[in-house]
Amino acid sequence: MNFNLLRNKNLIIIFVIAVIFITKIFFLTKLNGLGWEADEYMHFLEAKTLFTNFPHNLNIGIGVWSKPGYIYLYGFLITLFNITSLLSAQIITVVLTLLTSWLILKILAELKCSFKVQLLGLILTNFSFLMFRGSISIMTEPVFALFLTAGIYFLLKRRMNLTALMFGLLPLVRIEGLFFILILIAYVVYKKQFNKILILIIPTLIWNFLGALITGKLFYIINSGYPLTPGKYSHGGWPYYIEGFMKIDPIIFILFVISAVYIFRYFKEKHWIKFGVIFSFLLFFALQIIFWKFGLFGTAGLMRYFVTVLPLAVISICLFLNEVFVSQKSKIENILIVLVICGLQVFFTGFLFMRGGLIFNQQTRSVVEPGVMEAGDWIKKNVSPNTKVYSDIPEVIYFAGRDLNNATIFGGDIEYSNNEKAVYIFKKSTSRENSLFDNLKGNEVVNFSDNVYVVTL
């Protein structure tokens, strides 16, 4: 073994990862510590509160919308490092995404890809627009991508217990994990490793058991899960996600479509891991199209759902290009191809962020609604810490410097009590199904914008 060559490669990897890390931290500082959407603030508040007032808040991470595989991970890290700001929590995701990209590099090495192709995988993972944007947030998708990538890596290393554990944890991060559990079950049945099925399903069974203890619902995950009413969060047309990829991640999407032709070759060669990588992405993509077309399972048609499976697309692209490079004699041409692809990807993603605004339902700048920060500051200055705050705007609770021990996020359907001294924060645009707002009329109202106001009791 050429140890000097190995040392040089490792130094290059460390250098590239360090540059990516610095780039993302620099970008985060330009966001002024803001999040991308309300869900990010809500998840931060839940994770921040989880291990406070121990053990009374542990049920926070049992919810179907704020799942344990995500909230408990961030809650532990936020508590461990005493994190109090969204910016610091976002740095955690930057590190987790770098770990995902490093695992992709290791996967490509296991699959005998050249070093330049491994570096290509590293760059594509970090500078896909969707992955870049996801890596500077604290949403569920980057964590899912990490567990999925780790599962594939352990599968290649033939460490099936760890593979089953990683795949088994996926539903505890996002419900799409059930899809990958079924795929791995098919694989272990083919390999006659039936004992791995138990490891796959144990995490979900434990989660359902804990939820049942808290709520009394025997089938907690199903009964407390996603809406079955079609179109609750709207629906769209068949080409919707294709259009989305062509607008915000066209390079990766086009390269994946080209690379996917190898699925027939992998099937013929019975290289089931390579086949499974392409097949899983294609099937996931097809299901997302169907779900959005018919508005199934509470889908909202968000492009960020694909952050979960973009590692599969990157691996497929790199496998294809590696085969192309092997058939070519000119190493310089191969290096130039890698440099051009990396350069185009970095430029395109950078261009979208510099362009600013909304691109196919994706914000390229972290923004908050007018009046939100002002409402938070007003509560911090004028409301006693002992006074309960109810808000259907999680951002206000965050900017008020509170957690969920003395504040509650609600959707407007909470029962009103005349005897409780409290503060309510509303969005005027939010539709309400009960008479809560009418009951609050006559109390002091403070407006902070056309859509944000506070009612004090």
pLDDT, one tens digit per residue, over 211-243 is 998 888 888 888 877 777 787 778 899 999 999
Q: Which residues pair with 425 in a beta bridge?
A: 391, 454
pLDDT computed for residue 424 by the predictor? 81
Q: For 170, which DSSP code?
A: G
Give the pairing type, strands 452-456 and 422-427: antiparallel
Size (the chain), residues: 457
Chain centroid to Cα 218, Å, comes to: 28
Question: Which alpha helices (DSSP H) does 295-330 contain, by range?
Answer: 310-326
**What residue ranges do the domains of the chain occupy?**
3-362, 372-456
Angle at 207 between CA 206 and CA 213, to 5 degrees: 90
pTM for the predicted model, two decimal places: 0.93
pLDDT computed for residue 261 by the predictor? 96
Q: Which helix (H) or strand (E) holds 97?
A: helix 86-110
Query: From CA 360, how far away is CA 30, in angstroms rounded?
Result: 22
Give the pairing type, strands 422-427 and 444-447: unpaired
Q: Which helix (H) or strand (E) holds 394?
A: helix 394-399
Give the pairing type, strands 452-456 and 444-447: antiparallel
- Beta strands (DSSP E) in 282-403 are 358-359, 362-363, 388-391
pLDDT computed for residue 443 by the predictor? 67
Segment 87-99, tens digit of pLDDT: 999 999 999 999 9
Query: From CA 403, how far away is CA 169, in angstroms rounded?
Result: 27
DSSP string, 221-267: HHHTS---STTTT----TTHHHHHHHHHSHHHHHHHHHHGGGHHHHH
Mean pLDDT, contiguous 10-residue spans, the chain (457 residues) = 70 95 92 86 94 89 89 95 94 97 97 96 97 94 97 97 97 93 94 92 94 88 79 87 96 97 96 96 96 90 95 98 87 92 96 87 84 90 88 90 88 58 77 58 72 69
